[in-house]
Chain A
Amino acid sequence: MSAARIRAGVAAREFSAREVADAAYARIDAVDRDVHAFLQLTPELAYAAADRVDAAVAAGDELPPLAGVPAGIKDNMNLVGTRTTCASRILGPYESAYDCTAVRRLLDAGALPVGKCNMDEFAFGSSTENSAYGPTRNPWDLGRVPGGSSGGSAACVAAGEVCVALGSDTGGSIRQPGALTGTVALKPTYGRVSRYGLVAFGSSLDQIGPFGRTVEDCALVLQAIAGADPMDATSSDAPVEAYASGLADGVSGLRVGVVADMLEADGCAGGVRAMVRAAAETFASLGAEVGEVDLPSCEHGLSAYYIIGPAEASSNLARFDGIRYGARAEGAEDVLDLYMRTRAQGFGPESIRRIMLGTYALSAGYYDAYYGQAQKARTLIKRDFAAAFERFDVLLTPTAPTVAFAFGEKSGDPLAMYLSDIYTIPANLAGIPAISVPAGLCPESGMPMGLHMMATHFAEGALLRAAAAFEAAAGFDCAPASAAALA
């Protein structure tokens, strides 16, 4: 059931918000042993929120836009009354001391906070295999990864445990798991949603955004969480559109560009490439003007990202030192020994790899060759997008080069794993909004594939309209056939 349908059902007294919460927890009880989308359930918070909604219904008050909608929250977002572990041992005991703005706004819109979702530790990864508390499994095939790093947020929506979830996207961590689990997944423009209360990974790249089963649900969540926040000086005061209205306006006259050079890149599976070509034909049949464009500088996107992201992460993660919060190593001889042993014991292998990579790139003698060059490559990528958006309103690529892969298939080769985000990273470097929409099943594997759509800064309205038109025309049912079998 979609968020829009639940809100309407609660308002019409077809069912109560408490019954919705009951249904969500019953579903979680049935399937989450297999899927492991959640690190912690928060029924006290969810039922308290449900009771507030039911009281408003009883009083005849106007209901907020997400009244009674069960939601998952990635475990790198603070919410008082929950632990915020970032799926790391170093933050295992950490109790949120304050609320993340996006989470607070989601709950103020009437959503029920069902639980905190599993993730790659500190959002480092593309598979959710890097959680200190065990991996999340893909509801479409439990032998495959759900993608990452917001794999828990994607999987809980795909498995029907909740309607919507919040994830964070630094290089594709919302959209790539969205594609791999057949969910709709949106990364807003940088600054569109406040990052206050999100445990920072790459401060110039991170964005919070929604997962849903429908484009409309993602639009409703974005509308609830977007807008300026005095607690985040990088949040934008650009007006928030009514994203959910106008979704049915169609794409007649919209200029849609297939990013031809990225589509032909090595490593893109044939079926994925064919899916994008078919999607372009769908847009043409809907009345859009379809053409092709190249983004040549994006070939350097992966390299630039794996300098800038780890450099910012190594700086952000310096705060985890065993002094003020989190875990602490026993028996340290002095403060330096305490720092070094706490961090080596508390961080998992991928976090250590990224911290090392970032520290190396920022260290004396290498700063200009790596970090400086990466920031300049970022300029070229921004220029490529600016030129492309003079000709097109929306750009199409695959979201991920392949469908969901098997556990362990890439975990021994960091570089192969990093290539999973090759299509999503440029949007983070340029700060533009992008969405992944389910676009069909791979004929060989039966696994979902995602169409990636990008627009210029703050053009979420046009992006969501295009996504809704494609969703309606493609008619792809994004519920995994195995979901019933899971229960």
Chain B
Amino acid sequence: MPISEDDVRHVATLARLALSDEQVAVLTGELGSILGHIDALARLDLAEVEPTAHPLEMTDSTRADEPRLGLTQAEALANAPEARDGAFVIPRIVGVGGEG
């Protein structure tokens, strides 16, 4: 399946990556080459084969629902690029006075 620059831009938006035009051009060629190699897989008739999501047979693994200590608020915020008043700071999402 050939991949176009528009496909790459669409996927970049899904992946939350602000790519430059140059990056889009390079990735279009590289992903096309890799997907060309992988296409042999897409053409195999595997209709009767069950997929393997996990390498080992596993049953549900549960533990007792008991409270226990996690990171403190200070530890959780320690690596934040920006924190204030015990919270992560992000750009405004909701506008002031009903805007946005």
Contacts and interface: CB of A to CB of B under 8 A. Distances in A.
Given A234-B58, A327-B81, A356 B90 contact: no
Interface string A278-300: 00000000000000000000001
Contacts of B14: 359, 363
Q: Give the interface residue-count category, chain A.
A: 35 or more
B61 A97 contact: no
A376 B55 CA distance: 12
Contacts of B81: 322-323, 325-328
B89 to A, nearest CB: 9
A292 to B, nearest CB: 25
B53 A375 contact: yes
A457 interface: yes
B82 interface: yes
B25 interface: no
Nearest to B28: A356
Identify whether the interface residues of B are mostly helix, strand, loop, or mixed: loop
A198 B54 CA distance: 18
Contact of A339 (B16, B53, B61, B78): B16
Interface string B65-100: 000000100011011111000001011110000000
A30 B95 CA distance: 58
Contacts of A333: 91
B33 A374 contact: no
Given A303-B38, A324-B80, A334 B46 contact: no
Given A94-B79, A307-B41, 14 more contacts: A95-B78, A98-B71, A234-B56, A234-B58, A328-B81, A340-B18, A352-B23, A353-B27, A355-B15, A357-B31, A360-B3, A376-B50, A379-B50, A457-B56
Interface of A: 93-95, 97-98, 189-191, 204-205, 230, 233-234, 236, 300, 302-304, 306-307, 314, 318, 321-328, 332-341, 343-344, 347, 352-353, 355-357, 359-360, 363, 366, 369-370, 372-380, 382, 414-415, 418, 428-432, 457
